[in-house]
Structure 1
C-alpha cells in the first residue's frame, strides 16, 4: 500500500455557474477522508461528459461549489485500502459516475444488482456530500481522485486509456438500457441523437447483435458519421418529409439521448412497433420533457421509460464486450491544461464525438 503524502489533490475548480464560460480555476482541494474501502487514483485521462456542463452551471439544481467535475476517469491506482481486494497498487483502473452506494443487504437496489438506483447512500463521483463528515466528492479534471473501491474497475489490457475513459459514463449510459431492454438479434433499434452518447448507442447496439440500427437526428450532417459507426439507416427529421409516416411502427427499441424539452417525443413514440419501448437517457436542465399524448401510448401498447448509468457488474460486462468486439469510440484528445477551452467547445457542440482530457503529467500510463 502506498501512503499518501507524495502527491497533492489539485484540479480545475468550478467556483460559480460562470465556470461553464471557461472560468474554472486550477487549485488544491481536500478529498473525502481516507478509509480502508477507498482507492486513490493518479489520473491519466478523463472524458468530458454533458453532465459536467450541467453541473458547472448548476443546471440540475444548486451545485456545491467549489466543484471539480469529470466522471470518466482512467488512471493508475496509487493507494489501495486494506478492504479492497480486486485492485492493487499499480493497476490501471477506471471510475464512472458513481463513487459510493450504501451496499446494505437491506437495500432493495444494492442487494439486487441495481446499485445505480440506490436511495439510501448514493454518492456521485463529484458534487456530492458524504455522510458523517467524510467530506465532498471531487471528480477527474484533476491529478488525483479518491473513490470507494466498489466503484473502481480494472481496465482490460486490450482497451486504450483514451478510448475507454468515455465508456465509464457515456458508454455504460447506452449499454445498460440496450442490454436491459432486449437489444440483440432480430431487433431494430433507433438511436435518437448522434452525439457523445448516441454514437456509443450505435456502437453497442451493433456489438450486441441488433439486426438494424437507425440513427435519428434533426439534420443530415451526421448521416455519414452514423453510417461509418455502423448504423444501417439514418433519419434526418428536419429534412425528411413525412418521416413519421414513413418510419412508423418500425422499431422495437429506441434510446433517446436528446435533452431538450421541446423534442417531438410523440412523433418518436410513433416509430415504435406495437409494445415497443422508448428509453430516455438525456436529462434536460430542470428535467422537463414534452407532454406525452396518452393515446400515443395506449393505441400502440408502447412503453416509455428511463435509465441511469449502470451497476458495477454491468460496467465490467460492458468493458469485456468492448475488449472482445474491439469497440473504438470516436474521441478527440485535449490537454488537461486546456480544460476550460475544451468545456467551451463541448458546450458549443464541436466534439466529434467525445473529448478526453489527457493529463500532461501522467497521460502516458
Structure 2
C-alpha cells in the first residue's frame, strides 16, 4: 500500500491530441519487487506522444497517459532493485520492459531497444500480465527498475528529461555509425535535430550540416554549432558543392513527404542515411540507381540500449551539453501538445509538475 495515488492527463480518444486530455486517477501495473515508483518532477513532450494520442501509428488502448521523458524522485524501490534507492533522482525513457530472453537477438547483446517484444513506457501491456503502461504526464510513474536510470547531479532536471528519448534517439546513431571525424548532416532542426547538432559537434564531427525545408532556423542552427545549412526550398540544394559532401545523415523528421532521393544525393560513396523520425505513413520510394551507383546505406535506429543511455548521460556531464528547453506547467499539458503540433517549441517543451516537492 502507498499513501499516494496515480493521477495524470488521460487521453480517451484521438481528439485528445488536440488538447482534450482529462486529469484523472488510474491504476498502474501491479507492484512487484522489481519495480520503482517515481514522484515526477519533469516530463518532456515528444512527437511520439501525439502519434499515440491520436492513434497515428496503431490503435491506442485508451485511456492512455503519455510521456516518456520522465524525471523525478524514487519514492518506493523493490527489493530486487539494487542500483536505485529511495530519494534518488531518476529518469525513465521510452522503454518499460523487454523480454530479457537469452535467445532474443536484441536482449542477448544488450540492445533491449531492439527486442521484438519491447514494451513502451505508455499504451502497452506488460509481458507478465501485470497491467498496462502509463507515462509521465502525471504525478507518479511505476516502471521496472531495469529501465530506471540514475541522473547525474550535474544535469538539471529540465535538461535531463528530453535526453531520455530525444537525446538518446540521436546519440545512438551518431555513436553507432561514428560521427567523429566525419561530415554529418542532421535533417530537421526540432527537439531531436537540435540534440543531433549538439552531440555531433561534441563527438568531434569534422563538419555538421543542418538540412531543413526553409531558412527560418538557420541562425539557431549556427548558434547550436552547425557549420553549414542547407534549405531544400532552394533551387539545386542537392547539387554542386552539396552533392556527395556528407558521410552520415541522421533524419529526425516524422514526415513521409521528404525528398529522400535528394538527401541520398548528399552522401559520399558508401555513405549512411539513418532514419530516426517515425512517420505514420511509408517513406517515399527510392530509385534503385540512387543506391547502386554510390553504394549508400539506408538504415534506421530506435532510441538506445540501457548502457547507451548511461553512456550518454556521462558524456553530457563530461562535455557540459545543455539542450534548448522551455518549461511549461503540468497543469497546462493540453496547451503543450497543441503548441508542439504547431511547431512552436525551441526546441523541447518540458512539463514541470507544479505540485512536486522534493
What TM-score does the superposition give when structure 2 sets the normalisation length? Answer: 0.98
* Equivalent residue for 2:259, pick from 237, 256, 264: 264
Q: Which among 6, 11, 18 is matched to residue 21 of structure 1?
A: 18
Aligned residue for 1:115? Answer: 112
Q: Distance in 1 between matches of 2:158 and 2:256?
A: 32
Cross-structure match for 1:6: 3
Distance 2:257 2:131 in 1: 38
Tell whether the 8 Å contact from 2:257 to 2:283 is kept in structure 1 after alignment: yes
**How far, CA to CA, are the matches of 2:295 and 2:129 in structure 1?**
48
Cα distance in 2 for partners of 1:260, 1:253 equals: 20
Q: What is the distance in 2 between the residues matched to 1:74 and 1:132?
A: 25
Q: For 1:172, which of 168, 178, 199 is the aligned residue?
A: 168
1:342 counterpart (336, 343, 356) = 336
Q: Give, in whole Å, the separation in 1 of the partners of 2:89 and 2:230.
A: 40
Pairing partner for 2:319 from 289, 301, 325: 325
For residues 287-315 of structure 1, what are the alpha-carbon distances to aligned partners after superposition, in whole Å with 9 as ceiling and x for unaligned?
A: x1000111001101100000000000000
Q: How far apart are residue 139 of structure 1 and its match?
A: 0.1
In 2, Cα distance between equivalents of 1:160 and 1:106 = 38
Confirm or deny that 1:253 pairs with 2:237.
no
Cα contact 2:71–2:91 (8 A) shared by 1: yes
For 1:44 and 1:127, locate their aligned partners in 2 and report how far apart those are by CA, in whole Å. Answer: 21
Give the equivalent residue in structure 2 for 1:274. 269
Equivalent in the alignment of 2:45: 48
Question: Pick from 213, 217, 232: which aligns with 1:218?
Answer: 213
1:144 to 117, 140, 163: 140
Question: Partners of 1:99 and 1:132 in 2: how far apart?
Answer: 12
What SS does structure 2 have at the residue aligned with 1:169? helix
Q: How well do the aligned residues superpose, as a CA RMSD in angstroms? A: 0.9
Residue 97 (structure 1) aligned to one of 94, 109, 114: 94
Look up the match of 1:160. 156
Aligned residues of 2:261 and 2:290 also touching (Cα < 8 A): yes
Q: Runs (4+) of structure 1 moved beyond 4 Å?
A: none
- Per-residue CA deviations over 1:301-342 (Å, capped at 9, x if unaligned) read 100000000000000000000111111110000000000011
Report deviation, 1:107.
Answer: 1.8
Shift of 1:131: 3.2
Q: TM-score, normalised by structure 1?
A: 0.96
Aligned pair count?
357
> For residues 91 and 191 of structure 1, what CA distance do their matches in structure 2 show?
35
Unpaired runs of at least 5, structure 2: none
